[in-house]
Amino acid sequence: MPSLYTEIEIHAPRSRVWQILTQKERWKYWNTFLYDCNPHQTFVPGQEVSLSLLRVPGEEEIQFRPLVTLVQPEACLRWVSSIPGFQNEHIWQLQDLDRNRSQFVYQENFSGSLCKFFVPFIRQDEQKGMRRMAWELKQYAEKL
């Protein structure tokens, strides 16, 4: 199964980083990769959220409605978006490095019969967007 992965060390407690990640209505202040299309939708397992993605600045945003599959406060958030023949799972994980440092891990797993067509087309830009988001999260969390 093809996947993308990035991680970054953040000089902030895991609780602060989790709060920043899950307050979608505040993403506009720091996140240039993912956008919240409906701030009233929270991350609840079994519910869809309305999001938008911008792989490369200047390109058109891609709207999607992923299904939240797991919420483990201060530890892990997962959602899955799919179209017939293609599925994309996003996973955010937080780990303590010490009292005031966290590790943010962002992984995407791709599956389905159309995977071989979509993944080569989006891989590089998606990876850059994930890294950009991780860096922006770090910068924002460390300023608070």
Domains and CATH numbers, the chain: 3-143 (3.30.530.20)
- Containing H/E element for 3? strand 3-10
The one-letter amino acid code at 93 reads Q
Q: What are phi and psi of 130, to 5 degrees?
A: -60, -45
The pLDDT of residue 113 is above 90: yes
The one-letter amino acid code at 137 reads L
What is the DSSP secondary structure assignment for residue 48, as one 8-state letter?
B
DSSP string, 75-90: TEEEEEEEETTEEEEE
Q: Percentage of the chain surpassing pLDDT 90? A: 90
Collapsing DSSP states into helix, strand and coil, what is residue 128? Answer: helix
Average pLDDT over residues 108-134: 94
The one-letter amino acid code at 3 reads S
The pLDDT of residue 56 is above 90: no
Give per-residue pLDDT as tens, 39-55.
Answer: 889 999 999 999 999 99
Collapsing DSSP states into helix, strand and coil, what is residue 1? Answer: coil
